[in-house]
Every structure is written in C-alpha cells, then in structure tokens.
Structure 1
Amino acid sequence: MRRVTVWYDGACPLCIREIALMRRLDCRDAVSFIDISVPAASCPLDRQLMLSRFHASVNGDIYTGAAAFAAMWRVIPVLRPIGHLARIPAVLRILEALYIQFLKIRPHIRKRFKPAD
C-alpha cells in the first residue's frame, strides 16, 4: 500500500475541518498529516508556499493543488474513484481550475470557520 504525506495549515479553521474529515475517511491509515503551522514541522519546500496551496507527497514526488488532492483521494477507499478519475488530464485541469477559483475565495470562507473568541 502506498503512503501519502499531506502538509496542511493547522492554524486554518477550514483546513482543520477538512483534515479531520480526511482522517475519518482514511480507514486504512494511509495518509500522514503534517501540521506545518507549527514552526518545528519539517517542510520539504518553502513554508509560505506550502501554506498557500495544498501539497502531498507520494513515493518522494511532491504534488500541489488538485493533483495533491487526487493523490490523497486515491489512497482513501471511499474517495478512490474520484482520485482515479483525476488521472485523466482534462479532469485534472478542470479540478485545478476549480481549486484556483477556490483559493481566491478561501480567505472569505476561512473567516466563517474562525473559532469564537
């Protein structure tokens, strides 16, 4: 079984919820989740770059954006079909275009998920 490493922003309430869902769906424990909001966390790339986009690694290859999501989905049984569908270049291009649009509105969505002070 392939293992996937995912780096995420543990200071982002939206990201925390998404990662919590992925952990629940990862019934085979195939994904290692690394919170890079913690200064001691190891980052294979520039930390700010990794905080700005989703990154995942499979067998030493690092993916970003929609390709990173697809890599993670392929090892989570319930999401595997979507991950395999994303291997089709046209589908991956569409998913990446949607991801780029999401990144534009992410700061506004993030505000909605901020914990109450």
Structure 2
Amino acid sequence: MFYDGSCPLCTSELGVYERADTDNALVLVDVSSASFSGDEFINRSDAMARLHVRFDDGRQVSGAQSFVEIWRVLPSWRWMAKVESIPGAVPMLEMLYRLFLRARPCVVRGFKRFQGTFGKSDPC
C-alpha cells in the first residue's frame, strides 16, 4: 500500500487499517518519505496524487479499487469489500474519491485545525 505519510488524514486512516491488520497482510510504503523515489512501476508524483496498492504479482490498482483491495485483506473490513459485487458501486466510489481528492487540501486543513496543529489564519 502506497500512502502519503505527510497527510494527517491519510495517516489517521492508515492507523485504523494497521490496527485491523491482524494478519500483517499490508506492506506500507510512505511515499512522502525522503527514502521513496519511486520504482519501475510508480513514480513519486503519481504515488502522492492518490492511493495505490500493488499485489505480490506486480499488478497495481489505485483509487477506489485500492480501498476495496485493502478491505479485502483486513478481517474486520472484508464485509466492506463486498461492495465490489454491487453493479456500479466501484465506479461510484471512484467518482466520490476523485471529488475528495479535489477537496483534499481543504479537508486536510480542517483536519489539522481540528487537531490544533494548523494556524487559524491559513485560508482554504
């Protein structure tokens, strides 16, 4: 799982997934880390832009499908992965995810304000 460790919202969600990962199924890669420069399958810019999941066989998915794949391997979240069987659900989730990505900077600012870690004068 490739995630943006510089995003407090992302790391908060990641914490939920880490606690649920009782089988240690997820390998977490913080793409905001100075040690991540990308590889032959993904570059830093693409990795920072949206969530990506890579399988052991090299296949890679991003966006809403990434969430489905994460949910699929977490015992307490497997029920959420069943959304994939609902016709049109994953494309709808992808549309919502893309809308979220556009609003993400403002959402993160609000999240930081809620946590008390962001200046009040910073506009969204």
Shorter-chain TM-score bucket reads 0.7 to 0.9
Give the structure-2-normalised TM-score: 0.82
Q: How far apart are the structure 1 equivalents of 2:98 and 2:83?
A: 19
Deviation (angstroms), 1:82 = 1.6
Q: Deviations over 1:54-92 (max 9, x none)?
A: 100123110000011111110001111221322545111
Matched, 1:40 2:35: yes
1:19-30 maps to which residues of 2 (within 5 A)? 19-30=14-25
Partner SS state of residue 92, structure 2: helix
Q: Deviations over 1:18-38 (max 9, x none)?
A: 111110111111101111111
The answer for the alignment partner of 1:62 in structure 2 is: 60
Partner SS state of residue 63, structure 1: strand
Give the structure-1-normalised TM-score: 0.86
In structure 1, the gaps of 5 or more residues are 1-5
The answer for the alignment partner of 1:102 in structure 2 is: 100
Aligned-pair identity in percent equals 34
Q: Deviations over 1:30-52 (max 9, x none)?
A: 10111111121253312111101
Q: Which runs of 4+ in 1 moved over 3 A?
A: none
Q: CA RMSD in A?
A: 1.7
The answer for the alignment partner of 1:90 in structure 2 is: 88
> Between Structure 1 and Structure 2, how many residues are aligned?
112
**1:15 alignment partner, one of 5, 10, 18:** 10
Rg comparison, structure with higher value: 2
Deviation (angstroms), 1:101 = 1.2
1:62-81 maps to which residues of 2 (within 5 A)? 62-81=60-79
Deviation (angstroms), 1:112 = 2.1
In structure 2, the gaps of 5 or more residues are 119-124
Partner SS state of residue 31, structure 1: coil
Which has the larger strand fraction?
1
